[in-house]
Structure 1
């Protein structure tokens, strides 16, 4: 769809009736996933476009440029534009309207970025990695445990642009939560940035708690009676998924500390204090992931040790039975050499005596091995 088509869709959203229609849809489906082809009420990559003044929604007439001009004239509001996986053509007009830096635009379109915080003049560009726990009946060597996505945020004095990638992480609940606290939203676009950061980090903690259940299950299986038979692929798969979670959570620590401690023009000082709480939660999630990683290493080492012990026990049993079988083999081998002059060849009780000696020797060996734990 062309940029002109997108802006016409935004114009329809800007009417009062359009806003009421989208608001009603959001109330009916609070956790709607907007990642499918019909992801947007506007029929394009634009998910929502709303103007706020003094923390309250205001009716917007005209195109997106008209909404931006209105809030800039009033000097006391901002526009929040939300998009999902826009193409280069769809985003080009928006980038020109808000004077977004080409490097940030390129990162937004291509995605697959690390969590980061960058400043381009008066615009702040932030990248968040979203995570989602993938439900599964049983953890196997191929189970997907963690799914990741991305949220890019452009922040200026009078606008907030959010671009989402992935099949989860809908910002509808964030928007509803912010609109229920107009005093917080009145502090400007930085309230949107804090709401998104808080939402993303809270999801980190939820996913970490869910992963811990898988960790407990694997640990219980490994240290069970037949733990040596546990498929090590399950442990490796959980470790791989934990690594993906770590790549999403850990790099976000530095950007959050910058938002909490360093003065930034587009971030309200009162909002800045709230980022400290978000940074604390992110640090907690990072520490739990590091602890999980160490625990998985210990579980894997314990499993390998169990396998080694089980193999040693099997070898001892095989060796013990081989020693027992060697006795009749030796006796029978001696008497099978067909020499003419051999002891007890003509004795009537020679055969029963040979069987008795073999049985007694085997019984003594069996009891000795059993007493020493070899059998």
Structure 2
């Protein structure tokens, strides 16, 4: 747990035992950043602030959707940022915020153990560094929260741009007939990009609806809340629209690739079927000619035995056997011709 004091003169870090004093200091915004909330930290926060037990429970547990709650003196929000993992998996990196009139409490996680904890602090650390460098000058708790959430929006926008670049690269491979890429690999890459875009779209949709609902509630306990919340909602909506459009592009590439592959497969199947028909015709012809050729062999082979036959050893016997061979062959030829085997 880290404690900061935001004053017109800049941002300074303080000890935990100074929180009560800082909260009573006019013109100072107290920023408390928790890497993760457990039962002990939740109890400590309840000593300093009038936070509802359900909100503190949301900080300890993992939330799968964005949400907000309005209280008399503060607003509680839950947001997520996408983090690409291995195998096309998308991790939801959670950030919870308690936004009061003179304080901001940011709670990170819980995180999937495979996610680097530093990922959860990219936006808060980035805003802290920008304040220290003098790049931004937030004056209120909502200004500070707005800067952090704006950083999340920029990262989501950049992720959509990176996924668009990746889908464009795969699309070139799909439409290039000269390439010999593995179809299964290409489809797997497209499915992973499409899944990531769907996850970004879902996160942006939840975030936009959450902040739009915050804007409808008015300023509440935080000055300037409604207008800035509506502006953030519009930016999340823009991310959703871009992710949705890019997702349509990826689905179109998948449909095109599958249709082209199916067409090629159908043509190949048709060609194989035609080849099979020709082979069957050839086999019938070969079989018919074998039967015709076998007729002389049958006759000469039978009479080649040591069995006398009418005309054996005489010219008339040779003529008779020759005529029998020719007649048998002609009859077989006509029969096979009638069956269209020849």
- C-alpha deviation, 1:191, in angstroms: 1.3
Q: Structure 1: which 5+ residue stretches go unaligned?
A: 1-45, 135-141, 348-360, 362-375
* Residues 1:102 and 1:59: Cα distance change in structure 2 (over 3 Å): closer
Could you tell me which of 21, 24, 31 is aligned with 1:80?
31
Q: Structure 2: which 5+ residue stretches go unaligned?
A: 112-116, 297-323, 331-341
Aligned 8 A contact 1:146 1:241 in 2: yes
* Residues 1:265 and 1:342: Cα distance change in structure 2 (over 3 Å): farther
Could you tell me which of 193, 204, 228 is aligned with 2:156?
204
Could you tell me which of 286, 299, 304 is aligned with 1:332?
286
Could you tell me which of 145, 155, 161 is aligned with 2:99?
155
- C-alpha deviation, 1:323, in angstroms: 3.2
Q: TM-score, normalised by structure 2?
A: 0.74
Q: TM-score, normalised by structure 1?
A: 0.68
- C-alpha deviation, 1:160, in angstroms: 0.9
* Residues 1:276 and 1:55: Cα distance change in structure 2 (over 3 Å): farther
Aligned 8 A contact 1:228 1:307 in 2: no
1:267 aligns with 2:219: no
- C-alpha deviation, 1:316, in angstroms: 2.1
CA distance in 2, matches of 1:59, 1:235: 46
Q: What does residue 195 of structure 1 align with? A: 147
CA distance in 2, matches of 1:249, 1:100: 27
Instruction: Report how many residues are paired.
Output: 292
- C-alpha deviation, 1:69, in angstroms: 2.9
Task: Kindly report which structure 2 residues correspond to 1:9-158, keeping only aligned pairs within 5 A, or say none.
Answer: 46=1, 48-54=2-8, 56-57=10-11, 60=14, 64-72=16-24, 74-133=25-84, 143-144=87-88, 146-158=90-102
1:215 aligns with 2:167: yes
When the two chains are superposed, the root-mean-square deviation of aligned CA atoms in Å is 3.1
1:305 aligns with 2:249: no
- Structure with bigger gyration radius: 2
* Residues 1:189 and 1:344: Cα distance change in structure 2 (over 3 Å): farther
- C-alpha deviation, 1:262, in angstroms: 4.3
CA distance in 1, matches of 2:34, 2:22: 21
CA distance in 1, matches of 2:241, 2:95: 23
CA distance in 1, matches of 2:228, 2:75: 18
CA distance in 2, matches of 1:228, 1:298: 19
Q: Residues 80-125 of structure 1: CA distance to partner in whole angstroms, max 9, x if unpaired? A: 1101122222322112321211111111111233122211221210
CA distance in 2, matches of 1:119, 1:52: 24
Q: Residues 150-195 of structure 1: CA distance to partner in whole angstroms, max 9, x if unpaired? A: 1111111222110112431421111222455598422x21111111
CA distance in 2, matches of 1:127, 1:196: 13
